[in-house]
Structure 1
């Protein structure tokens, strides 16, 4: 099978790129790992600032139709003991964000490109040929061979393609996240369904997942002593006893779903080469505090689609170099703004979690 582009990974970045390439008439194949178990729902929220981008990409209707609901603001206790109400009413041109059902949104987008998708269960190999093309071998019980001019890493934080290309990454912190699904309650002192609170050992967020569940996520640094107290939901309320409102949401119940993992800021030392590029979390991963992870994935996917089109039409050797230069600049701007956000919280500046930002 010969295509112009081979995309590996079918998260939000890879699927968005595939849809955009299809609209441009650029042939592609999308390879993805066969997943047996259902994904852990995180209930991400897109801010109003993401709506114009979705509209520009002609994806707004897809995201709206598959969203849990529109959101009109959130509460935050950050930098003081007073709750701040961030209302989207004054935002323009959109006065709402979206609480998205990412799994359902991706399934809808996948239907547009389903005939171009190949799954693998036993990994893949990359072979570079002398004439510049790339061959990817998708391993199942047999081997499927795909040849393309451009290879795209959309494998998320795993950076599976970059690892095989021996491209290193720079990790800027050791932030980790622990999430659990808990029964949904309406807090008597809060209006919005999203609440963020910082505390001595890190920070947390409670967000409505659907009509019956909330998701609570705690962020701290790898190795922090609070992590040992979060291994069982029965200990969460005690571990977060000094928080103002976070602890109120923690209702003990059976069959709690847990998930833990990295939430750090990192960037590939190279996000593009002569005939390959990375996008989404494979290019750069953001701290969830920025609330721009999915927005960034969408923006980079659009940038990658334009870059690939230019590369194929003009054969300009500098096209991918310019893409990498743009990605590195975006990440540096993000790092600066992210650190400024953390430095707004001065109440615990001498504590283990917070001192590194000062």
Structure 2
């Protein structure tokens, strides 16, 4: 069986012609899929019933999914969902909204999607990293996460404005499916989101960074650095190589040289681990002059006994970076009271189910 949400527009053209239909049927199919949220083939009322039957006979489907759990922050700006795609696959995703100064009043609505169930990278402070790796998600399952939130936003007269691949899993460890999902979500005949509205975050798959630089897609790249030296980074990211910090800096420079797009270094601030003045100074020396941007992320509390630094410590860390000539911001906190850190909601729900 092949999910229709896996099919790129060019492939859809070939498919309808193979079924003996005129090419314009492909546009009808794509419009219905991305604008009307059908749940099954028979919901595609724009095409003849004979064509619906032919799609089914050829093995095409619209994969079933159901909402398992939903939590919303007190201010209503953050919503986290668990979707179920089959008997075992639970996928976590988040909608984060920010007030807009635009005349239309529509908020900036960022959807954070997962690319894997679990994660093979093993970051000690990350709930997903601690659950282990289960499987890669398919492109259609990544797309489905965005479309599910799209339905919710349409009911409010709003729409998805930004997309981040920062949920469960390492996107560049599931490279082909991640890139296919990006192409589906940005194609003007499919979902049509602007490429520059998308950020792919990686904890450091060097081959994937280099490969992404050669793709004809203008997405933003964020690299999860978390430490200015290999000894500290290895404690936080057990899968990191012996020269991971230097390797990542060089990969970021190659990416910028090929694409002209600035790389963001994400830095999860963990109390007593990587938040000292000494570490901040070392990080400033490492990144000074390379044009990169640092996004400081006071971590959401997770299992493992790690906690976020006090606000005063976060601001001091930021100031040292700025004084050292490094462009730096602090990520706006979203959803800490609803377990909005990657993997937390899925972990919490599974615990409750198995009790």
Q: Does TM, scored on the shorter chain, surpass 0.5?
A: no
TMscore range, shorter length: under 0.3
TM-score calculated relative to the size of structure 2 = 0.23
More strand by share: 1
TM-score calculated relative to the size of structure 1 = 0.23
More helix by share: 2
Higher relative contact order (CA 8 A, sep 6+): 1
